[in-house]
Structure 1
Amino acid sequence: MEQRVIWDHLESAGAEHLTLKKLTNHMEVRGTVLLVDQGVPHHLTYDLKLGLDWKTKKVKIYQEQETEPFVVQAEKQDKWWVNGRYDENLDGATNVDLTITPFSNTLPINRVTWHIGERRTFKMVFVDVLRKEVFPLLQVYTYLGDNDGYRIFQYRCRDYETALVIDAEGWVVEYPGAFERKALLTTGDRNVGKQPQPLLANAPSSSEGFY
């Protein structure tokens, strides 16, 4: 199965096209991102290999005018290497969080089965893509309930808090103030996936939270 998604970037001019392929033993993702950061345009591509359990195995990030990719890779027992160097601070993390894409939120959400009211904490490998900084980060997701067929998750990280609109397959539909899904297409289906009316258009992305 293959799925293709397009998100708008809301914080600045930009968008992402992502392709996910589900193969026999793993999944492969390629994202192409156009964005503007402090007035500077960027064109980035990342290749992500996932297990069928949605755990990150390897990510390669390519930037224009750079000959070598930036590589973050997981080995057995959730140990991590950054550009070939082992980083013990990342031990125990199960997924990467790339700053340039809302697909990062799909990874922990799809790792587990959720019940309304359930809260889970995940140790993530946070990758500031433009600045090439990598460090561990705890993130908390709470399944708040459903709205018009979509799931609403409270997302907390440090002092940041917001509410995410997530579809049944774990795709981010709306990330208030940051990303908005414009299209979803699954191989063999000619119809673009249903797009909701904005559910959280006025939701704050701050320490005060949505709820």
Structure 2
Amino acid sequence: MMTGDGVERELMWSALSWPATEHLMLRAGADGVRADGVIVALDGRPTRVAYRIEAGPDWSVRRLTLTTNGEPDLVLERRDGQRWYDAAGAERADLAGCVDVDIALTPFTNTLPIRRLGLSVGEASADLRIVYVQVDRGLTTEAVSQRYVRLADSLYRYSSGDFTADLTVDADGLVVDYPELWRRIA
């Protein structure tokens, strides 16, 4: 279980609808959270996506680095409260107000708002503005609305637009089962 004492976890997921796996090394402690993930997928052609997410001890994202071929292709940093900046230091006003990121190819990024919100059973989040990264569309980013409802100790309903999924998580809020998309294998 992740506490302020500093815990490291290593996890793997397998995609259920296409050939893909993800390996994640997660470190959480009093000074913050660092997640290093690698997704290898075959969707017409082999694809390797590596990401690093750095967050505060409250799980609010500070920085995202995403690489698809050895060099950082996308760098976003949250500073000054809820203002985002790209690798060149230019402000991304279109992402203002977002605290979390959601990388379309990984179940891990659902853990960020789950941990940050700390919802009680039956409690719903307000609509959250989240930086959504679409890897298959040239690493496009946009602010989207998402909502989480804690249905039971280990079950959350996630919704964004017309999409809804009931996510089973472990005691640390890490996805175990994302129906029809991902299942944790280690």
Give the structure-1-normalised TM-score: 0.79
1:182 paired with 2:178, answer no
For 1:20, the equivalent position in structure 2 comes to 26
Alpha-carbon distance in structure 1 between the residues aligned to 2:115 and 2:30: 18
For 2:3, the equivalent position in structure 1 comes to none
How well do the aligned residues superpose, as a CA RMSD in angstroms?
1.4
For 1:138, the equivalent position in structure 2 comes to 145
Alpha-carbon distance in structure 2 between the residues aligned to 1:113 and 1:23: 17
% identity of equivalent residues = 29
Which one has a bigger Cα radius of gyration? 1
1:84-130 Cα offsets, whole Å, 9 max, x none, are: 32111211111111111101100000002222211112110011123
Aligned residues: 177
Unaligned runs of 5+ in 2: 1-6
For 1:153, the equivalent position in structure 2 comes to 156
CA contact (8 A) 2:65 2:72 kept: no
Describe the shift of the 1:86–1:4 C-alpha distance in structure 2 as closer, same or farther (beyond 3 A).
same
**Code of the aligned partner of 2:11:** V
**Code of the aligned partner of 1:15:** T
Alpha-carbon distance in structure 2 between the residues aligned to 1:70 and 1:87: 13
Moved over 4 A (4+): none
For 1:119, the equivalent position in structure 2 comes to 124
Alpha-carbon distance in structure 2 between the residues aligned to 1:36 and 1:170: 28
Alpha-carbon distance in structure 2 between the residues aligned to 1:61 and 1:105: 17
Unaligned runs of 5+ in 1: 184-211
CA contact (8 A) 2:14 2:185 kept: yes
Tell me how far 1:59 sits from its aligned partner: 1.0
For 2:49, the equivalent position in structure 1 comes to 44
Tell me how far 1:24 sits from its aligned partner: 4.3
Alpha-carbon distance in structure 1 between the residues aligned to 2:146 and 2:184: 22
For 2:81, the equivalent position in structure 1 comes to 77
Alpha-carbon distance in structure 2 between the residues aligned to 1:68 and 1:61: 6
77, 89, 92: which one pairs with 1:87? Answer: 92
Give 3-state SS (helix, strand or coil) of 1:42's partner: strand
**Code of the aligned partner of 1:177:** E
Give 3-state SS (helix, strand or coil) of 1:86's partner: coil
**Code of the aligned partner of 2:132:** F
For 2:109, the equivalent position in structure 1 comes to 104
1:56-101 Cα offsets, whole Å, 9 max, x none, are: 111111112x544311111121101233321112111111111111
Alpha-carbon distance in structure 1 between the residues aligned to 2:71 and 2:64: 16
Range with greater deviation from structure 2 (11-20 or 122-131): 122-131
1:58 paired with 2:63, answer yes
